[in-house]
Amino acid sequence: MKRKFILLITVLVAILTSSCNKLGTTPPENTRVVPYESEDFAMGTVVMQRIYDDNGKKISKQVIDRIRKIEEGMTINKLGGQINKLNEFAGIDFVELDKDDIYILEKAKEYSEISNGAFDVTVGPLVKKWGVFSDNPSIPSMDEIHSLLGIVGFKDIKIDKPSSRAKLDKKGQVVDLGGIAKGFAGDEAIKIYKKHGVKSAFISIGGNIVLLGGKPDSTSWKVGVRDPRGPEGSYIAVINAKDKAIVSSGDYQRYFEKEGVRYHHIIDPRTGYPADSGLIGTTVVSELSIDADALSTAAFVLGLESGMDLIEKIEGVEAVFITDKKKVYITEGLSDQIQFEDENEYEYIEKR
Amino acid sequence: MSMNILKKGDGILLVIVTITIIISFTAVSIYKRNGSEGSKIAVIKTKNKEVKRIDLSSVTKPQKIQISDEYNQVILVENDRIRFLESDCSEKICVNTGWLSQKGDVAVCIPNSTMIKIEGQSEKVDVITH
């Protein structure tokens, strides 16, 4: 009887522990950690954060406060801020700026130079004229475009770093940081996460994505590459990445149509017209999101050949190019990190 | 005598162990269901404030929700899905986004600062570029 009892206990313990093992192995405990997620409207778009940390709420608030501060200083769509002041004093005098503004202006000039002006923050007067961000966009006359092109030129941004001042040389010049400020803000968010010891988080500032670490189970984040012709939330491929910034540019983000022609928001600073390079979307993967932001615009304006050349010249930067024929090209370094989704509509080209 | 006590103990143990097994299995199955399927909660936000929270799995009849802010919008809720049905904003990106039915799905109207999100995370993709 005693034996029977021991046998019974053994069997029961075996059953119990085996079921416990199952519980423990599928799936690992830490993947079940509930993240803190937030969505806020800022910088004229929606900011989404996912933070794996007990203080997620507090940290996400700090990030949003920082982003709103950056927006206040750099916007040209609302009154106030240092960039508005820089523009007001164009052709007149130097203006005192804080070190963030100087850093961004220097970065902007750097990318203008390496892209031969395909990216240029002094495109402001043309962006305003086209009004793609306003409720009443219109096609400017050729004369208007021609005269505005005369005041577009990154070389006219004069930076005096020691005194933290900058000046625009010509009257009427307008710096528009729309193509780079969100990128900067994304990098600042990651700094705040790190300061709080967060190991796993991401932020999306209007689809400009910056990843901190990987997921809590140490696998990569899965980032969808927006389908330029599909609805919001559709994607043509998934990029697996950790600690990377991923930013897309395209003709679908903001546009108006007149007589069957699509006029989108990325104005080519060299022609004065919406970029017409044969691309409908570019996505850039890099360490810093300020770089990804500027480079995705530059690559979009440059087109497949020159854009690819530019990206390949810069170490640690990868890209996806989507042409108006719906052909998709990627840089070599991305090939083992990307899975294509919609093989029916898009054609994936292995070799350029 | 001693045999009898053991037998009694056997019985009690058996009951305890059985109950433990049943409880743990139930707990695991509930846990798993919540992890992958479970209830789908849609959250509607305007101007960074949550205005409504709906359990989509418990919706039986279609219902419409009016949003009156800078722009007027109509949100349609059905069993297991939700969408912006109408909006008098200029670009209608929110309406064109279509139905949301999976965890992590989001539709946004930037001009009106409105959004719908189904709480939770998608298994296929964490976040999408724009």
Cα torsion at B31, B33, B39, B40 (round to 10°)?
Answer: 110
Query: What letter represents residue B97's amino acid?
Result: T
Token duo for residue B104: 């992590």
Cα torsion at A298, A301, A302, A305 (round to 10°)?
Answer: 110
Chain-chain contact of B20 with A231 (C-beta, under 8 angstroms): no
Q: What is the pLDDT of residue B2?
A: 53
Q: Which residues are bridge partners to B67 per DSSP?
A: B73
Chain-chain contact of B125 with A35 (C-beta, under 8 angstroms): no
Task: Write the DSSP string, A237-274.
Answer: EEEEESS-EEEEEETTSSEEEETTEEEES-B-TTTSSB
Residue B40 touches partner A, C-beta closer than 8 Å: no
Q: What is the pLDDT of residue B103?
A: 94
| Residue that has been written with the tokens 């846990």 in this structure | B31
- Interface contacts A/B by beta carbons within 8 Å: 107
- Residues A152-170 have a mean pLDDT of 98
Domain assignment present for A325: yes
- Residues A70-77 have a mean pLDDT of 95
Whether this model's pTM surpasses 0.90 = no
A316: left (phi over 0), alpha (psi -120 to 50) or beta: left
Q: The domain at B41-118 falls in which architecture? A: Sandwich (2.60)
What 3-state DSSP class applies to A14?
helix
- Residues A96-121 have a mean pLDDT of 97
pLDDT above 90 as % of chain A = 82
Query: What letter represents residue A155's amino acid?
Result: K
Domain assignment present for A163: no
pLDDT tens digits, B39-78? 899 999 998 899 999 999 999 999 999 999 899 999 999 9
Closest Cα in chain A to B4: A1
Chain-chain contact of A5 with B127 (C-beta, under 8 angstroms): no
Domain assignment present for A303: yes
Percent helix / strand / coil, chain A, rounded to 5: 40, 25, 35
Chain-chain contact of B21 with A204 (C-beta, under 8 angstroms): no
> How many Å is the Cα radius of gyration of chain A?
24
Contacts of B47 in chain A (CB under 8 A): 41
Token duo for residue A117: 């002006």
Peptide bond into A27 cis (omega under 30): yes
Chain-chain contact of A41 with B113 (C-beta, under 8 angstroms): yes
Whether residue B1 has pLDDT greater than 90: no
Q: What is the pLDDT of residue A51?
A: 98
Which secondary structure element, helix H or strand E, spans residue A221, and what is its range?
strand A221-226
| Residue B65 distance to chain A (closest CA, Å) | 21
- Residues A225-242 have a mean pLDDT of 95
Look at chain A and report how many structural domains it folds into. 1
Query: What letter represents residue A277's amino acid?
Result: S
Percent helix / strand / coil, chain B, rounded to 5: 30, 35, 35
Residue B108 touches partner A, C-beta closer than 8 Å: yes
Whether residue A31 has pLDDT greater than 80: no
Q: What is the pLDDT of residue A23?
A: 46
Chain-chain contact of B124 with A222 (C-beta, under 8 angstroms): yes
pLDDT tens digits, B96-123? 999 999 999 999 999 999 999 999 999 9
Residue B89 touches partner A, C-beta closer than 8 Å: no
Cα A343 to Cα A105, A296, A340, distances in angstroms: 40, 23, 7
| Residue A19 distance to chain B (closest CA, Å) | 8
> What CA–CA distance (Å, rounded) separates B57 from A91?
62
ipTM above 0.85, yes or no: yes
| Residue A226 distance to chain B (closest CA, Å) | 5
Please indicate whether residue A52 or residue A253 has the higher confidence score (pLDDT). Answer: A52
pLDDT tens digits, A189-218? 999 999 999 999 999 999 999 999 999 999
Residue B7 touches partner A, C-beta closer than 8 Å: yes
pLDDT tens digits, B12-45? 888 888 888 888 877 776 655 554 457 899 999 9
Chain-chain contact of A223 with B93 (C-beta, under 8 angstroms): no
Domain assignment present for A120: no
Closest Cα in chain A to B126: A222
Q: What is the pLDDT of residue A10?
A: 58
Instruction: Find the range with the poorest average confidence among A108-117, A159-168, A338-347, B86-95.
Output: A338-347
CA A63 from chain center: how many Å?
16
Instruction: Using CB atoms, pick whichever of B7, B97, B130 lies closest to residue A253.
Output: B130
Q: What is the pLDDT of residue A277?
A: 96
Whether residue A26 has pLDDT greater than 90: no
Chain-chain contact of B48 with A40 (C-beta, under 8 angstroms): yes
Instruction: Find the range with the poorest average confidence among A49-63, A190-204, A249-263.
Output: A249-263
CB atoms < 10 A from the CB of A183, how many? Answer: 29
CATH number for the domain harbouring residue A202? 3.10.520.10
Chain-chain contact of B6 with A5 (C-beta, under 8 angstroms): yes
| Confidence label for A343 from pLDDT (cuts 50, 70 and 90) | confident
Whether residue A19 has pLDDT greater than 60: no
Q: What is the pLDDT of residue B38?
A: 72
Whether residue A302 has pLDDT greater than 80: yes
> What CA–CA distance (Å, rounded) separates B105 from A321?
26
Structural domain that includes position A282: 182-349
- Residues A143-172 have a mean pLDDT of 98
Mean pLDDT, rounded, of chain A:
92
A269 within 8 A of A152, measured Cβ to Cβ: yes
Q: What is the pLDDT of residue B37?
A: 57
Q: Give the number of C-alpha atoms closer than 13 A to the C-alpha of residue B64, restricted to the C-beta side.
A: 9
pLDDT tens digits, A163-177? 999 999 999 999 999
